[in-house]
Structure 1
């Protein structure tokens, strides 16, 4: 881990003070942000070094005003709402589910089979709805356990996250919500490889039981050799959506989220797991701001329970600015340092609404400035530099 990040890590591993953080906004109801807004045009803009300009006016104004009110007791974050997509009728979902994972060339929007935009996903769904399929045994099993499908909660290039609802009969009755992540098999991907990859992701996620990690309940078949992961639904949305809606976070709020992130990372590392793809899109929230790490598709086991030695890694993975510099060099590296580095970049993004650089190599001017500052012993400077220098330069 870089020496300049060590004091930051020690600071945020201290016990969290129990204060009430309340977000003021003009939206009326504290409803949910959409979960897992992946692979959008806005996400592509992140590689250019800046989060999109906030588009929710009410949320933007709220973030600039008095956000936190302290009082004795518990700790809360109230997240402003974004509009949920219009609900699709139940009978359409029944038809959709039976065919949701069918692969054919005429259903692929590009040569690679990726679906990049929400419009493409809608077109794909409409084509599936025209197929006239009915519920199969797999769908009946899932609806019995996890309730009716209500809406699309999010989507990626090769998967879609559905929100399900089940009313638990008791006195009084309880509404339960679940996230069902359906994985589309890539074109020409062998079924054995597909099952091995998804099963590995689920095995890691389901073995981690921590307050700051999304719970994975079950992996179920949905027909045509495809799989669905049933997970905890995080109604507060993801960190990326929050930053797009509000811009930079106040220091107290960013500190709180970072403490929760580091606790989740420390638990993973104690269990011998490195996430290796930490970024705002993979950090979800409960409705009151409990941060939860999600998406273990790139996770790696670097130490088994009976071992003491850490297995080094030599495979680069991750997303743009969150990839640590040692991954660009030849040779092996400690996968734990990958997560610590990414966490530091996430904190910078929370405080500034920007990335400090595009890529952590000698080819990036801003990264080289950071390396030089570290060489001369200057610390705790990144956030101040970005806010005071780059923001003023871009606005002039």
Structure 2
């Protein structure tokens, strides 16, 4: 029985395809029961690798069942047919994803970015408090509802943290997600608490929100890691950010995991407490786009793009973080 017939029996009228992941398609459908459009992720177990079926799919389903938050995409129903297809019925992000929104509208003003980031950080706190790490945070996995509110999605790489006999989280060794958003410890294969690695990804996302650029050039991952570990973060003069906003980005993109913020600290940062921006930081002398990249689709797991979409980096020497556009 095809998807149209299977879903029709359940009261769903299948419409167009709205996305495609590594191991499944996402289609739009109208739900008779809910009287609204929904997104349905369809996974054919016969066409997916065993590793995905045994590890990642169960983790995703567990996360979708347990995570309930206003800024996390809502899951309405999960069912499987005898033919081996899994259907995950979810809330539809009517305004698409954050990446497309930034491409269309450009860099966000701080007041707007603050609201969006507050919603995202609140969703991550909910995950982390329940011992879930997302492990694939990127602009493409952040959907927007009809009012442009944040809806965190795609928990395919999420993981529930196991703990040892002393109650300490067992560190993760698996590389997940896209290199451009991944923390340096993940790219280096260093065992880590994946919740702390999520924080780094939040820094990349916030930077992208306020600059409509990516902070690091991932066309050469080895070189990118060196730049990240030196904390060489470009702040182009094209966008005059407040000191508070720059400071939050700088704290999120902390290469030392022992010093990186936890989600509770993120939510308490002064930038997120301010209803209005404070004093603008001094005008930077950095050229627009220096060592930055236009936002682009995240690369698949374990794959690197053969061609760079970044502007060439400049000035690889050590710099004073408060000069030359670097923080």
What is the match of residue 81 of structure 1? none
What is the match of residue 288 of structure 2? 391
Task: Judge conservation of contact 2:59–2:157 (CA < 8 Å) in 1.
Answer: no
Deviations 1:17-63 (A, max 9, x none): xxxxxxxxxxxxxxxxxxxxxxxxxxxxxxxxxxxxxxxxxxxxxxx
Alignment: residue pair count: 250
Matched, 1:97 2:20: no
Matched, 1:295 2:192: no
What is the match of residue 28 of structure 1? none
Give the unaligned 5+ runs of structure 1. Answer: 1-94, 99-134, 169-173
State the 1:224 CA deviation.
Answer: 3.0
What is the match of residue 320 of structure 1? 179
Q: Give the counterpart of 1:203 among 54, 62, 65.
A: 62
What is the match of residue 340 of structure 1? 199
Q: Give the counterpart of 2:231 among 371, 379, 385.
A: 371
CA gap 1:155/1:385 in 2 versus in 1, 3 angstroms: farther
Alpha-carbon separation, structure 2, partners of 1:188 and 1:386? 51
Matched, 1:254 2:113: yes
Task: Judge conservation of contact 1:356–1:367 (CA < 8 Å) in 2.
Answer: no
What secondary structure sits across from 2:121 in the alignment? helix
What secondary structure sits across from 1:228 in the alignment? strand
Matched, 1:225 2:84: yes
Alpha-carbon separation, structure 2, partners of 1:366 and 1:389? 20
What secondary structure sits across from 1:363 in the alignment? helix
State the 1:342 CA deviation.
Answer: 0.2
Give the unaligned 5+ runs of structure 2. Answer: 235-242, 251-280, 291-310, 312-327
Matched, 1:148 2:13: yes
Task: Flag the structure with larger Rg.
Answer: 1
What is the match of residue 236 of structure 1? 95
What is the match of residue 104 of structure 2? 245
- In the TM superposition, 1:22-33 aligns within 5 A as none
Alpha-carbon separation, structure 2, partners of 1:166 and 1:322? 35
Task: Judge conservation of contact 1:146–1:164 (CA < 8 Å) in 2.
Answer: no
Alpha-carbon separation, structure 2, partners of 1:279 and 1:386? 29
User: Per chain length, whose mean CA-contact separation is higher, i.e. which structure has more relative contact order (CA < 8 Å, sep 6+)?
Assistant: 1
CA gap 1:232/1:388 in 2 versus in 1, 3 angstroms: farther
What secondary structure sits across from 1:163 in the alignment? strand
State the 1:289 CA deviation.
Answer: 1.9
What is the match of residue 30 of structure 1? none
State the 1:358 CA deviation.
Answer: 2.5
Provide TM-score, normalisation by structure 1: 0.55
State the 1:144 CA deviation.
Answer: 4.3
Q: Whose helix proportion is higher, 1 or 2?
A: 1
Alpha-carbon separation, structure 2, partners of 1:234 and 1:188? 25
Provide TM-score, normalisation by structure 2: 0.66
State the 1:152 CA deviation.
Answer: 1.6
